[in-house]
Structure 1
Amino acid sequence: MIDRLLGRAELKERIAELEEANRHLERRAEAEEARRSDAVADRQRAEERVNELEHRIESLEERLERTGGDEAAVEYRRVSDARGARLDDALDRLRAIESDDPEGLLTAFVPDANAVPESVSDWFGERTALVRRAAPAVVLADDTGAVSAAITPPVEPAAFDRWDDRFRLERSWFRPAGTLVFAVVRSDTFALGVYEDGDRVDFEGFTSEVKSAHSKGGFSQGRFERRREGQIEEHLDDANSAIAAYADGTESAAIDADRVIVVGERSVLGRVREHADVTDVSDATGSPKEALDDAFRDFWTARIHAI
């Protein structure tokens, strides 16, 4: 009675309605988050399937090209991409192999098709063509013929070849180890992460306004292009300064990084490679964090060729 007289009854009803609406929105948000997680997982599975199909297409196209040529018709037994736990498992299996013969296992890094060492060509014979196609790659073989593979490492070591009682497969070639600075640079997007043994512990990212098309009227085409190039230059200057701050000990962001890796558009890498130990092309897009996550995952992916 008193609540109705003072108008509090309507307020209480309104509060109850708002609380119910809030609970409904919370449930929608939870459902949306679940759908987003499922979508990410579905996308990753789809990307892996696309990669497998692309490998099969490339193999068939190469086989077709060689059909009318003089090159021996040799094919990989299998080609696959591996990252994360799957790659760790594959490498651990190979590292576990030991030989009683101190020269029973061959490991070599072949940097390109024209740099195949004699030890590799002698062992593989006509299959050396597959090694050339896989390069740059770490090549593995044993003197029984049970192991025969070439693995493309994310980080290329110096060329070497040796017969030993174990395969040489250093973790730093294939997996993020120690303190790592990893950055992705596009003409309008920058993202940088600091990683400790693969886990991100720091992040910096930003986007810059860069005109992408010349609208009718207004600036001439030449003036538009000059303005756009100036915007890109300013963006790359900011990106370069951010990388330097983490990599070279300038500013408060300085860390003791074991390695600095910068990936991004081929057209801009030359402007930011000064402070990088490793650079690579990446087509990762999206927000800075999305681009960084995609580029990091793609970079630490190894292609395994079974020869």
Structure 2
Amino acid sequence: MLDQLLGRASLKDRIDELEAETERLQARYEAESERRAEAATARQEAEKKVNRLEDRIAQLEGELERTDAVETDVAPRRRERLRGTRLETVIDRLTAFETGPEGALTAVLSDDEGVATLADAHDVDFQALLGDRAALVDAAAPCVLCLDDAGLVAVALEPPAMPDPDPRVGWDDRFALEREWFLPTGRYALALVRTDLFALGTYDDGDRVDYRGFESDVKGSHSKGGFSQARFERIRDDQIDDHLERCREALAERVGSDTDRLYLVGQRGVVETLADESGLEPAGTAAVDATGDPEPALEDAHRSFWTTELRVF
């Protein structure tokens, strides 16, 4: 009664409310503190994990840099394009090299395979023979590879006419290289074919003994005005077909029993089309950049074709 008269009852109620609010806020504070402690712990763990990952990344980047440095350092000791007398001298030296029985390896690699293919098929440990340089052989394919078991000779040659890769690998007391893979030997024909030009030479040990050449009227690039693009292309295609028919006739007339083999060179797509449609089986084909009039273009093409790239590992 006295508390009510003095107004203390309401004050006590207010105090109780405030105390309850204080307890609630205290509980909330303690809960929030726990959450913050857990968050701090989680953050510390995350930071430790990030640090570990950053250290690992730095380690891997260092390994990658070292690997790149090794790959950069591993390069052929020498690369050279050989033709003529210089090529003949190199082939003579390689064929004169002699070892003990099965000490010299000759391997033919096509353009879609590397040393791993030959190693699996013929049980040759190229890694033991070449170490890190084995990757250089893959990059050199297609090629003819010459290695000896003492590591004195390790070269790859990319001849104008790749040999039949059978047998692909051979161990002997010397390297099994045929001169006709690299050098113009015997009696053969070489034809240069472009969309508007044909030149055919018959050669005896590299010396030309017969020649025929001609140019055809084939439209160049289309320009505005005149023919529509589609009509222009049809006319040009017909002209190219006529030109290739003349080429086939010339080959049929000139290539026969008096030549051992035929090589076709020139624009890649034109050469492939002519080879497919002529019924002939060229001993080799190649894309060469020979321009100008038929006869000098043929000489340029012949010189370019009989070139071998040498890589010394």
TM-score, normalisation: structure 2:
0.71
Supply the distance in 2 between the matched residues of 1:244 and 1:67 (Cα, whole angstroms). 55
Supply the distance in 2 between the matched residues of 1:79 and 1:106 (Cα, whole angstroms). 21
Cα distance, 1:219 vs structure 2: 1.9
Cα distance, 1:70 vs structure 2: 8.7
Cα distance, 1:264 vs structure 2: 1.1
**Aligned CA-pair RMSD:** 2.1
The within-5 A match list for 1:1-307 is: 68=68, 73-99=73-99, 101-112=100-111, 114-116=113-115, 117-118=118-119, 119=124, 121-122=126-127, 123-159=129-165, 160-247=168-255, 249=256, 255-273=257-275, 274-275=279-280, 276-307=282-313
Deviations 1:249-268 (A, max 9, x none): 4xxxxx42111100111221
- Alpha carbons of structure 1 residues 66 and 198: separation in structure 2 relative to 1, 3 Å: farther
Kindly indicate whether the alpha-carbon contact (under 8 Å) linking 1:180 and 1:259 is maintained by their aligned counterparts in 2: yes
Supply the distance in 2 between the matched residues of 1:270 and 1:284 (Cα, whole angstroms). 17
Aligned to 2:162, the other structure's residue is in SS state coil
Aligned to 2:221, the other structure's residue is in SS state coil
Aligned to 2:209, the other structure's residue is in SS state strand
Question: Which AA in structure 2 matches 1:85?
Answer: T
Question: Which AA in structure 2 matches 1:104?
Answer: G
How much identity, in percent, do the aligned residues show? 48
**Structure 2 unaligned blocks of 5 or more:** 1-64
Aligned to 1:129, the other structure's residue is in SS state helix
**Number of residues of Structure 1 aligned to a counterpart in Structure 2:** 236
TM-score, normalisation: structure 1:
0.72
Following TM superposition, where does structure 1 have runs of at least 4 consecutive aligned residues deviating by more than 4 angstroms?
65-73
Cα distance, 1:269 vs structure 2: 1.7
The residue aligned with 2:20 is: none
**Structure 1 unaligned blocks of 5 or more:** 1-64, 250-254
Cα distance, 1:113 vs structure 2: 5.2
Cα distance, 1:211 vs structure 2: 1.0
Supply the distance in 1 between the matched residues of 2:301 and 2:287 (Cα, whole angstroms). 9
Q: Which has the larger radius of gyration?
A: 2
Kindly indicate whether the alpha-carbon contact (under 8 Å) linking 1:113 and 1:132 is maintained by their aligned counterparts in 2: no
Cα distance, 1:66 vs structure 2: 9.9
